[in-house]
Structure 1
Amino acid sequence: MRVEGRFSELKGLTSADWARGEKRNRRQQKRSPPMPRGLIQKLFDSCREVFSDAATGVVPSPDGVARVKSVLDLMRPEDVGLTQKMPYFRNIGNPGRPPVTYLHIYESDRFSMGIFCLPPSAVIPLHNHPGMTVFSKLLSGSMHIKSYDWVDHGSTPRAPPGVRLAKVQTDATFTAPCETSILFPTTGGNLHCFTAVTACAVLDVLGPPYDDDEGRHCTYYNAFPFSDFSDDSVAGQPEEEGLAWLEETEKPEEFSVVGAKYMGPRMVQR
């Protein structure tokens, strides 16, 4: 209970005065508006409604996309209980690529929410999001993002099996606070790679989430310069710039993700 005033102003009150004051305080508390919901609760509520009909390849309405983005744009590390002092952001005793920590917040068959915490130089390698809409909000630090979309190029005689043509959509470094990035099933950079320039954290919302049984399997890729497998129909044309060949590959051995418990504010799943 919050007590207003200095002790010197209160010590002369009688028991009846104190009882009347307590009764008045209770009446005021009942009339007071409810405390504002935390942003993580607002994000959960928005996602539950926006992704209520989520399915492979189904994109939420423009209003729904804007609603989720507007909440994520406001979020800061403190809204999910993160500080740079946490061990997830330090590279201790790892001579190679440091592991990435994933804080699981929520997952259903419609959407998932979680936070990737990356020490400096950590990498989430190039991977896809088949049939999914993904929101990525950089909460802290600086991160380089490189993303691609597939290009429908028809036959590519020189390209070996498993290699497809893609076009770069993003190749830049972002520093928090910044706007939320959004990728769609076929546009916006559906394939992307994260590299931590400094210790950083990114909150991901996926709708729907990965599900092997539903054909939403995470696939990793190696990228090759366009000139490696170019053919005469495209080589030398102006649109050649920004093109690359992506080859399916196994999950890189140096990529390690460690799960940790999310300790931030909880959501009420009402």
Structure 2
Amino acid sequence: MDAVRRHAVATFSRPHGNLDENLRRLVAAMSLLTREDVGLDVKLMRDIREAPVTYVSIQEHEDVTISMFVLRHRSRLPLHDHPLMYGIIKVVSGIIEIKNYSFIQDPTESLRLSEVLVKKEPPRIISENDPPIVLTPTKGNIHEITCPHSAGAAFVDVLAPPYGSFVPSLGPRSCFYYFESDEQPANPETARFVKSLEHPEFWTDVAPYCGQ
């Protein structure tokens, strides 16, 4: 986990330097992560808890945050975005299904809109044996993650810049949730979503980090 922390800060601290090369090294380091590295308590995936998802904070930095999400059977992180952010996801236990959508409009301009037009990306099933997924400010940024397996799942999430960091002329980054608009485009490869700062069916509880 120390290598992931080090490469995450090196990749996203300002100035960025060679972003592509640093990102490649970060992804390589995350590929090696195991449930033992992050001290995952597997009971969190199986316990009957009030919240559908458990959040574990691993590192808070002004340029990057690292956390872990623990999902129980059929729970989900509903459709949401990482506004002008990179997100790297590595499953460390179980299986997740991820559905992604990419911005068609300029992502900065999309932040100003109440509805957005997006391109559908192929859904993916990801296990702990698969490499990390990289979401960019434009590619696959809007996404939903579900846990289809009865044993639960957990993944490490690296986000940069963090939520709450400042976007020039727009203010602090906020997480938006997305809901299908009543008016959908004729093209089946695209979709139109309405944005909201709240989701009535999603909340998390928290657990301490017990890893390296």
> CA 1:202 to 1:162, structure 2 compared with 1: closer, same or farther past 3 Å?
same
Q: When you count helix as a share of all residues, which structure comes out higher?
A: 1
> CA 1:60 to 1:262, structure 2 compared with 1: closer, same or farther past 3 Å?
farther
> Which residue pairs with 2:147 in the alignment?
196
Query: Within 5 Å, which residues of 2 pair with 1:47-126?
Result: 47-53=8-14, 61-84=19-42, 86=43, 88-92=44-48, 94=50, 98-126=51-79
> Which residue pairs with 2:205 in the alignment?
258
Question: How much does 1:93 deviate?
Answer: 6.0
Q: 2 CA distance for matches of 1:48 and 1:63?
A: 13
Q: 1 CA distance for matches of 2:26 and 2:184?
A: 40
Q: Which of 190, 193, 201 is 1:246 aligned to?
A: 193
Extract unaligned runs of 5+ from structure 1.
Answer: 1-39, 154-160, 266-270
**Is the contact made by 2:184 and 2:191 (CA closer than 8 Å) also made in structure 1?**
no
- Give, as a single letter, the amino acid of the residue that structure 2 aligns with 1:192: H
> Which residue pairs with 2:110 in the alignment?
none
- Give, as a single letter, the amino acid of the residue that structure 2 aligns with 1:222: F
**Is the contact made by 1:135 and 1:182 (CA closer than 8 Å) also made in structure 2?**
yes
Q: 1 CA distance for matches of 2:138 and 2:49?
A: 40
How many residues are paired up?
Answer: 200
Pairwise CA RMSD of aligned residues? Answer: 2.2
Q: When you count strand as a share of all residues, which structure comes out higher?
A: 2
> CA 1:241 to 1:110, structure 2 compared with 1: closer, same or farther past 3 Å?
same
In the superposition, the TM-score normalised over structure 1's length comes to 0.68
**Is the contact made by 2:175 and 2:197 (CA closer than 8 Å) also made in structure 1?**
no
Question: How much does 1:213 deviate?
Answer: 4.6
Question: How much does 1:250 deviate?
Answer: 4.1
Query: Within 5 Å, which residues of 2 pair with 1:173-212?
Result: 173-187=125-139, 189-198=140-149, 199-211=152-164
- Give, as a single letter, the amino acid of the residue that structure 2 aligns with 1:41: D
Q: Which of 140, 157, 163 is 2:115 aligned to?
A: 163
Greater relative CO (CA pairs within 8 A, separation 6+): 2
Q: 2 CA distance for matches of 1:152 and 1:140?
A: 35
> CA 1:93 to 1:259, structure 2 compared with 1: closer, same or farther past 3 Å?
closer
Question: How much does 1:264 deviate?
Answer: 1.0
Residue-by-residue CA offset, 1:178-229 (whole Å, 9 max, x unaligned):
1100011112x0111111112000100011110165431111111358xx33
> Which residue pairs with 2:97 in the alignment?
144
> CA 1:173 to 1:223, structure 2 compared with 1: closer, same or farther past 3 Å?
farther
**Is the contact made by 1:136 and 1:203 (CA closer than 8 Å) also made in structure 2?**
yes
> CA 1:60 to 1:121, structure 2 compared with 1: closer, same or farther past 3 Å?
farther
Larger Rg: 1
Q: 2 CA distance for matches of 1:102 and 1:152?
A: 31
**Is the contact made by 1:51 and 1:60 (CA closer than 8 Å) also made in structure 2?**
no
- Give, as a single letter, the amino acid of the residue that structure 2 aligns with 1:169: E
